[in-house]
Structure 1
Amino acid sequence: MAYKKILIAVDSSEYSMKAAKKGLELAHQLGAKAALLFVIEKSKAFGNVDAGITHEQALIVLKKEAEQTLDELAEMYNGNELMKFMPEGNPEEDILKNAQNWKANLLVLGTHGRTGLKHLLMGSVAERVMRHSDIPVMMVS
């Protein structure tokens, strides 16, 4: 199967940076279109009433972090067109939804490499995406 559209899901972790690098290299080698996706988790936008920080202000900080990450990663790319997506919501759901909407035929994700009890308790967005994806998923650790 020829991969023509590669969606690379990232966050600001070192694991997703490695995944982005591999995904962008692959897109360049194949002459495929690439897209970077950073899901802004609304549930992580914690306000602090005592410090005068609202939920909305915390969300703005998360959006800026996402934009900076996407911009940094985009600088690494020297291939064709590069799309950037920044939905707000649930990573697992939004990765799958964006892959379908953009008609990606390969998903690239970083994995934290957790094992044992830690993995069992914390789960993995990458693992859940892999289990529910209709398209191939490349995991990078």
Structure 2
Amino acid sequence: MSYSRILVALDRSAQGETVFKQAIAIAKPNQAQLLLFHTLIFDGRNLEAYSGIYGQNAMGISSSVEEHIQTQTQEIETWLQDCAEKAQAEGLAVEYDWRIGDPSSWIREMAKTWDADLVILGRRGRRGLAEVFLGSVSNHVVHYAPCSVLAK
């Protein structure tokens, strides 16, 4: 099967690097366009760490959280740009994007709106009951993505 638009869901792990290399290997012979995509997970549970440092000072927490998010988004932007340059060096057309929130939902949504014909993403390795009860991003995407999915 030939693919022309491949969404590559990446994280900054060794597994993410494997997913990236696999995406390039699939995209090159097809001259497929890549969308490198990352989801920054940030939720209210992260506030607990800041409340311990700053006490109950809501303004201090808010300011510190905002700085933390800004730092992380700058790091993600730089990292995705570096990945895009590596893929471009392989002769591929590349875009990149990121969002804050639930990875499962965002990957599914981006695959739909970008009109991907393949999503490539990693698996954390949960199996059996752990995957059933805890779920996984890859499991959700495999079942609900609007296109083919390769979970590496």
TM-score range, shorter chain: 0.7 to 0.9
Query: Structure 1's 24 and 45: CA in aligned 2 closer, same or farther, altered over 3 A?
Result: farther
SS at match of 2:74: helix
Give runs of aligned pairs for residues 1-141 of structure 1, distance below 5 A: 1-43=1-43, 46-47=46-47, 48-49=50-51, 50=53, 54-77=64-87, 78-140=90-152
Q: Partner amino acid for 2:71? A: V
Q: Unaligned stretches of 5+ in structure 2? A: 55-59
1-structure distance, mates of 2:97, 2:142: 20
Query: Contact 1:106/1:135 (CA < 8 Å) preserved in 2?
Result: yes
1:41-97 CA-partner distances (Å, limit 9, x unpaired) = 232783414255622122123213322331332243112220001122211111111
Change (3 A) 1:102 1:45: farther
- Alignment size in residue pairs: 140
TM-score, scaled to structure 2: 0.80
Structure 1 unmatched runs, 5+: none
Q: Which moved more, 1:98-107 or 1:112-121?
A: 112-121
Q: CA deviation at 1:29?
A: 1.8
CA RMSD of aligned residues (A): 2.1
Percent of aligned pairs sharing the same letter: 27
TM-score, normalised with respect to structure 1 = 0.86
Bigger proportion of residues as helix: 2
Distance 1:45 1:31, change over 3 A: farther
Detail structure 1 runs of 4+ shifted over 6 Å in the superposition: none
Q: CA deviation at 1:117?
A: 4.3
Residue pair 2:112, 2:145 contacting (<8 A) in 1 also: no
